[in-house]
């Protein structure tokens, strides 16, 4: 059975991601959209093996079903595709990508007319129709469109570029061999920001790393920041909806701190109005910032589609999740790694301080945070069963800390008396059990994480 995870359908190329499977999904999607009176679709694709071929197949299926089809004229980012869907008034969009998964994978993401992840109702409507009707092909009638150019011009419009000419700043960008290659060069031409690129050619193997901008995958970026005496390093994942940041000391800025910094910059400096949305795996610093800034706070399960759902229902200033995906109320209800990177640069120019100093100021005002996450590979649905066992288990103390609350929003989250927490959660996209930990002391974070691993292994 073909099932969508927290962010689309993903599978191994040639095994469960084949032309036959993709055509069945596309036909089901076309049937669903036609029943909802949709007429226009936009399709984009990333740098993975055969992504352009899969995108053309999807375009052919929709064309053969009578839809007006627009196809990106080149590799594009997911946020660029999402923005094009909204700007060009399409009914929905398709992005062929497996985001941060390894090179063996590809995927099919559905985007709503509003420029963000499809709602659970849309996903279910597509899933229920897979295999019900024969696949229509044979008509190849579509329009090519420069999705990236539209997107870049839009991102530029969000900034007063005089701020990027106040002083010199050196940026090292790691596109991880994927969709953000050359993006910052285009966005920052004619500014005082010197852009140095690494891993800036297309490689479907992603250098044999997952194109995920997390600490363990960014050793080259960290070394390059030190070697070039850069002010900041920025990495984007396979489809550029996520961001990873390295400070001037060559240390990775964990995604929780990045979330807090971007939130504070958005609401305090940019004065963006609205509420804030966080997932269950996101830092307690968000709660403290929201309280101090007198902002309404929403908490959701993991998955940006839940964040986007609230962004569609009310005015939201900022929403994001622990994975490094952040959305902004002045943009679209979608994670945008490149816009996030640009906002980091704006923040640094505004404060006129090294990133490490900005983080110290954050800790001084809102308390320290030390966060770690471990992804443990498990077989089949073992991770899901382990989480279910924890749900039914009474836990009064963990790693020497008293449990004050057990949150079952998504997985099992144990919240301790000092706001520290540990979360056990099975991935929605791969056979992995994730353990997330945040405490105010590094040693305590490591202790809680180790206890969590012992519970699982």
Q: What are the boundaries of each domain within the chain? A: 9-151, 152-158+169-250, 255-335, 370-456
- Whether residue 380 is predicted with pLDDT greater than 90 in this model: the reply is no
Domain 255-335 identical in fold to domain 370-456: no
Instruction: State pLDDT tens for residues 406-445.
Output: 999 999 999 999 999 999 998 766 788 999 999 999 999 9
The average pLDDT across 12-20 equals 97
The average pLDDT across 111-115 equals 97
Cα separation values, 127 from 31, 283, 369, Å: 11, 33, 40
CATH class name, domain 9-151? alpha beta
Alpha-carbon dihedral sign for residues 349, 352, 357, 360:
negative
CATH fold for the domain made of 255-335: Alpha-D-Glucose-1,6-Bisphosphate; Chain A, domain 3 (3.40.120)
Q: Does domain 370-456 have CATH number 3.30.465.10?
A: no
Whole-angstrom Cα distance, residue 75 to residue 372? 33
The average pLDDT across 296-323 equals 94
φ/ψ of residue 142, rounded to 5:
-150, 165
Instruction: State pLDDT tens for residues 119-156.
Output: 989 999 999 999 999 999 999 999 999 999 999 999 99
Instruction: List b or e across 328-367, with b for residues whose CB sees 16 or more CB atoms inside 10 angstroms.
Output: bbebbbbbbbbbbbbbbbbbbbeeeeebeebbeebeeebe
- Whether residue 450 is predicted with pLDDT greater than 70 in this model: the reply is yes
Helices (H), 273-354: 284-292, 304-313, 337-351
Could you tell me if 51 and 72 are in contact, meaning their C-beta atoms sit under 8 angstroms apart? Answer: no
In this structure, what DSSP letter does residue 266 have?
I
- Please state at what angle helix 78-87 crosses helix 147-157, rounded to 10 degrees: 90
On average, the pLDDT of the chain sits at 96
| pTM (two decimals) | 0.94
Angle at 79 between CA 410 and CA 96, to 5 degrees: 80
CATH of domain 152-158+169-250: 3.40.120.10
More confident residue, 454 or 46: 46
For residue 429, the model assigns a pLDDT of: 64
- Whether residue 454 is predicted with pLDDT greater than 90 in this model: the reply is no
For residue 41, the model assigns a pLDDT of: 99
Cα separation values, 33 from 26, 37, 61, 86, 387, Å: 10, 6, 13, 16, 35
pLDDT bucket at 10, cuts 50 / 70 / 90? very high
For residue 427, the model assigns a pLDDT of: 79
For residue 428, the model assigns a pLDDT of: 65
Whole-angstrom Cα distance, residue 3 to residue 61? 20
Angle at 102 between CA 230 and CA 13, to 5 degrees: 145
pLDDT bucket at 6, cuts 50 / 70 / 90? confident
φ/ψ of residue 211, rounded to 5:
-80, 60
Whole-angstrom Cα distance, residue 205 to residue 37? 39
Q: Tokens 């320290």 sit at which residue? A: 368
Instruction: State pLDDT tens for residues 358-370.
Output: 999 999 999 999 9
Could you tell me the two tokens for 11? 């599978």
φ/ψ of residue 40, rounded to 5:
-135, 135
């Amino acid at each position: 059975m073909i099932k969508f995870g927290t962010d689309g359908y993903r599978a191994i190329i040639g095994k469960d991601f084949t032309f036959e499977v993709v055509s069945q999904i596309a036909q089901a999607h076309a049937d669903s959209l036609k029943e909802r009176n949709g007429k226009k679709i936009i399709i984009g694709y990333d740098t993975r093996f055969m992504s352009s071929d899969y995108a053309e197949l999807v375009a052919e299926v929709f064309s053969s079903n009578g839809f007006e089809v627009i196809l990106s004229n080149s590799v594009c980012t997911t946020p660029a595709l999402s923005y094009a869907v909204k700007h060009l008034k399409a009914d929905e969009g398709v992005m062929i990508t497996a985001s941060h998964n390894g090179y063996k994978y590809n995927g099919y993401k559905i985007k709503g007319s509003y420029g963000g992840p499809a709602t659970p109702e849309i996903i279910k409507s597509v899933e229920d129709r897979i295999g019900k009707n024969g696949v229509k092909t044979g008509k190849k009638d579509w329009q090519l469109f420069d999705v990236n150019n539209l997107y870049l011009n839009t991102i530029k419009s969000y900034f007063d570029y005089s701020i990027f000419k106040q002083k010199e700043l050196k940026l090292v960008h790691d596109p991880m061999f994927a969709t953000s290659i050359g993006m910052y060069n285009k966005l920052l031409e004619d500014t005082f920001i010197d852009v140095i690129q690494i891993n800036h050619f297309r490689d479907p193997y992603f250098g044999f790393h997952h194109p995920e901008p997390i600490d363990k995958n960014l050793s080259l970026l960290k070394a390059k920041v030190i070697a070039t005496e850069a002010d900041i390093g920025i990495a984007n994942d396979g489809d550029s909806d996520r961001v990873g940041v390295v400070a001037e000391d060559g240390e990775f800025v964990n995604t929780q701190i990045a979330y807090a910094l971007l939130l504070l910059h958005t609401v305090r400096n940019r004065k963006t109005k609205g509420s804030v949305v966080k997932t269950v795996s996101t830092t307690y610093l968000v709660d403290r910032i929201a309280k101090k800034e007198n902002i309404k706070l929403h908490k959701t399960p993991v998955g940006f589609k839940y964040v986007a759902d609230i962004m569609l229902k009310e005015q939201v200033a900022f929403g994001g999740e622990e994975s490094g995906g952040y959305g902004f109320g002045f943009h679209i209800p979608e994670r945008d790694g490149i816009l996030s990177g640009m906002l980091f640069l704006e923040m640094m120019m505004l404060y006129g301080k090294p990133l490490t100093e900005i983080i110290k100021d954050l800790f001084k005002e809102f308390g320290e945070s030390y966060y770690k996450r471990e992804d443990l590979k498990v077989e089949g649905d073992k991770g899901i069963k382990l989480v279910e066992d924890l749900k039914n288990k009474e836990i009064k103390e963990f790693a020497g800390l008293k449990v004050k609350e057990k949150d079952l929003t998504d997985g099992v989250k144990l919240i301790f008396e000092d706001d520290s927490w540990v979360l056990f959660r099975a991935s929605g996209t791969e056979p992995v059990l994730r353990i997330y930990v945040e405490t105010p002391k590094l040693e305590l974070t490591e202790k809680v994480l180790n206890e969590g691993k012992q519970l699982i292994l």
